[in-house]
C-alpha cells in the first residue's frame, strides 16, 4: 500500500544541499556570492531584503531548475546571480516544503510562499527569460531561528505534526 495523500505529502526523506549563496547589498545591485551567511529572524545578514516583517526574508531556487531554464534559453548554464535568489539548493524538491519548517545549516526556516519571476528576468536573461522562469522561480521563507548557512550545508525538512498532515495541502488533492 502506498499510503494516503496526506502520508505521501508528509514523507520527505530527501535532503538538499546548499550550492550557492548570494546577497544583494542594494536595490538593483548584483548579488555578492559568499561562502557563508548568518540567517537571523528577518533574513540574511547583509542582504537588502532583511526585514523582520516580510515573508520574503530568504529566497531559494533549485539548481535543477536553473539547468532547466538554461536549456529552455538555449544556454549551457546560467550564473545563479542573474536569478536574484539567495540560496541555490540541489537534491530536493523545494515545492515539497510547502507548509513546512526546514533546517538549512544551523538555521530554522519556514515556507512562506512561491518566488515568482519578475520582469527583471527578461533583462537579466534576455528575450524569453521571464517565461522560461515561470514555474521555476523557487520559494520564499522566513527565518525562525538564527544560524550559519554555508555552501555545502544540508537542507532537511522537519517532520510535520500529526495535525499538519494534509491541512496545508488540501488544495492539492
Number of independent structural domains in the chain:
1
What is the C-alpha R_g of the chain? 16
Q: Is residue 138 one of the residues assigned to a domain?
A: yes
Asked if the structure places residue 2 within a domain, the reply is: no
Instruction: Report yes or no on 7 lying in a domain.
Output: no
DSSP letter assigned to residue 27: T
CATH code for position 157: 2.40.33.20
Query: Is there a domain that residue 93 lies in?
Result: yes
Q: pTM here? A: 0.88
Give tens-digit pLDDT for 10-66.
777 789 999 999 999 888 888 999 999 999 999 999 999 888 677 889 999 999 999
Q: What is the pLDDT of residue 53?
A: 78
In a domain, 1, yes or no: no
User: Which of left, alpha, beta for 137 (phi over 0: left; psi -120 to 50: alpha)?
Assistant: alpha
Query: Residue 26 belongs to what domain range?
Result: 14-172
Question: Is residue 6 situated within a structural domain?
Answer: no
Q: What is the pLDDT of residues 88-135, one digit of tens each?
A: 999 999 999 999 999 999 999 999 999 999 888 999 999 999 999 999
Nearest Cα neighbor of 105 from 171, 152, 142, 65 is: 152
Q: Is residue 166 part of a domain?
A: yes
Amino acid at each position: 500500500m502506498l499510503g494516503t495523500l496526506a502520508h505521501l505529502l508528509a514523507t520527505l526523506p530527501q535532503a538538499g544541499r546548499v550550492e550557492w549563496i548570494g546577497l544583494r547589498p542594494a536595490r538593483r545591485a548584483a548579488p555578492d556570492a559568499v561562502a557563508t551567511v548568518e540567517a537571523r529572524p528577518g533574513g540574511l545578514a547583509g542582504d537588502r531584503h532583511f526585514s523582520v516583517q516580510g515573508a520574503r526574508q530568504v529566497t531559494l531556487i533549485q539548481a535543477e531548475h536553473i539547468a532547466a531554464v538554461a536549456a529552455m534559453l538555449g544556454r549551457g548554464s546560467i550564473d545563479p546571480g542573474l536569478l536574484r535568489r539567495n540560496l541555490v539548493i540541489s537534491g530536493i524538491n523545494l515545492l515539497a516544503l510547502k507548509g513546512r519548517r526546514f533546517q538549512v545549516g544551523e538555521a530554522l526556516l519556514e515556507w512562506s510562499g512561491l518566488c515568482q519571476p519578475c520582469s527583471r528576468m527578461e533583462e537579466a536573461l534576455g528575450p524569453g527569460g521571464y517565461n522560461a522562469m515561470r514555474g521555476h522561480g523557487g520559494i520564499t521563507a522566513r527565518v525562525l531561528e538564527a544560524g550559519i548557512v554555508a555552501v555545502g550545508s544540508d537542507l532537511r525538512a522537519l517532520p510535520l505534526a500529526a495535525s499538519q498532515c494534509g491541512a496545508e495541502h488540501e488544495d492539492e488533492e
